[in-house]
Amino acid sequence: MTLLVTVFAAVICTVIWYKNAPKSEMLTGILCCMYWGASLMWLVDAIFEYAELKEAYFTPAPADMLNDLFLGLSVIALGLVIWLIILLIKDPKGVIKNMLFKKK
Amino acid sequence: MACFLVSAAEAAIVTVAAKVMEKKEKEPAKVEFHLSDGTTETATKIPFSRKLKWLRNLLWGGSVLLAFEHVWHGEVVPWFPFLTAAGDPADFAEMLHEMATVGVTMALLVTAVWVCMLVVSALIEKRAQKAIHTEVSAEG
C-alpha cells in the first residue's frame, strides 16, 4: 500500500513537472526524484517480501493495510514538507529575498 | 531494518562527487546557429554535474523517506545506538544481511534507473543537435 501511494504521488508530480517544463521555478523536479527514489526502493522491498511470503503478499490483513495507508500518506506529507523547505531556502522566484530586503 | 543506510552512503558519495565535478567543470559548451529568418538557436549540453544531481536527489529522497518508514516501525530510535537491531547480536547479523541483500539491490536499482536516464538524455541531446544541423544545412 505504501508503494502504491508513493507511485501515485510520483506520477502526479511528474505530470506537474512535465506541464511546467522547461521552467523549474517550483523545483518540482526535486519532488519527483524524491518520490521516484522512494518508489524504487519500496519496489525492491516488495519483491523481497513477495519472495518470502509468495501469494500471501497480496492478501494483507485489513489492519496492516490501514497502517500502510497511513504510512504512505505520512510519507507523502513528509516529502511535501521537505520540498517546501528546499523551495523556501533556494527561493528561485526571489520572493523571500524581496520580502526580507524590501526597502521602506 | 537499516537497508536505507546503503543508499544513504551512496547518496553522500554522489553529493561530494557532484560538488567536485561542479567546481571542475567549465561553462557548458554552447553552439549557436544563426538561421536565415534572423533567429538564433542555441544548443547546450547538460553538464555531468547536473546529471549527478539527479542521482543524488533520487538517492537522498528515497533514503530519507525510507528512514521515516523505519522510524514508523520502531526500527530507528532517537537514542544510541539509534538502530534497535544493533542492541542484539542476532538481530545485528540479520540487519547486516538485509543491508547486503535488500539495501544493495535498492542502491543498484536506483543507479540503473539513473543510467537509463543518462542514455535517454544523451539520445535526446543528439537528436536535438541533429535537427538543428539539418535545419541549418537546409537553409544554407
pLDDT at B125: 83
B41 pLDDT above the threshold of 70 = no
Query: Taking CB atoms and an 8 Å cutoff, what residues of chain B touch A43?
Result: 109
**B62 interfaces chain A, CB cutoff of 8 Å:** yes
Q: What is the pLDDT of residue A71?
A: 95
Which pLDDT score, from 0 to 100, does residue B60 have? 96
> Residue A97: pLDDT above 80?
yes
The amino acid sitting at A30 is I
Question: From the CB of residue B1, how many other CB atoms can be counted at a distance below 10 Å?
Answer: 22
d(CA B22, CA B122): 19
**B100 reaches A (C-beta below 8 A):** no
pLDDT band at B26 (very low <50, low <70, confident <90, very high): confident
Please, are residues B18 and B54 in contact by the beta-carbon 8 Å criterion? Answer: no
Which pLDDT score, from 0 to 100, does residue A3 have? 95
Residue B22 has pLDDT above 70, yes or no: yes
Element (H, E) at B34: strand B30-34
> Could you tell me the residue ranges of all domains in chain B?
4-139
User: Is residue B37's pLDDT more than 80?
Assistant: no
pLDDT bin (cut points 50, 70, 90) of residue B12 is very high
What does the pLDDT look like over B75-125, one tens digit per residue? 999 888 888 888 888 989 999 999 999 999 999 999 999 999 999 999 988
CA gap A89, A73 in Å, rounded: 24
Q: Are the Cβ atoms of B72 and A71 closer than 8 angstroms?
A: yes
Look over chain B and give the mean of its residue pLDDT values, rounded to a whole number.
Answer: 87
Q: Does B14 reach chain A within 8 Å, measured CB to CB?
A: no
| Type and span of the H or E element at B105 | helix B104-139
Please tell me which residue, A47 or A22, carries the higher pLDDT value: A47
pLDDT score of B38: 74
pLDDT at B28: 66
Report the pLDDT averaged over residues B56-60: 96
ipTM: 0.91
Burial of A11 (0-12, 13-18, 19+ CB in 10 A): middle
Among A46-60, A71-85, B34-48, B85-99, which stretch is predicted with the lowest mean pLDDT?
A: B34-48
Contact call for B61 and A36, based on CB within 8 A: yes
A70: closest chain B residue by CA: B72
Task: Tell me the shortest Cα–Cα distance from B139 to chain A, in angstroms.
Answer: 27
- Dump pLDDT digits (tens) for A41-66: 999 999 999 999 988 989 999 999 99
For residue A37, what are the contacts with CB-CB under 8 A and spacing of at least 6?
B7, B57, B58, B59, B60, B61, B62, B63, B65, B110
Q: Is the pLDDT of residue B130 over 70?
A: yes
* Grid cell listed for A38: 522512494
* The predicted structure's pLDDT at residue B25: 83
Inspect the interface and report whether the beta carbons of B57 and A29 lie closer than 8 Å.
yes
At B46 the pLDDT is 85
Cβ distance of B65 and A29 shorter than 8 Å? no
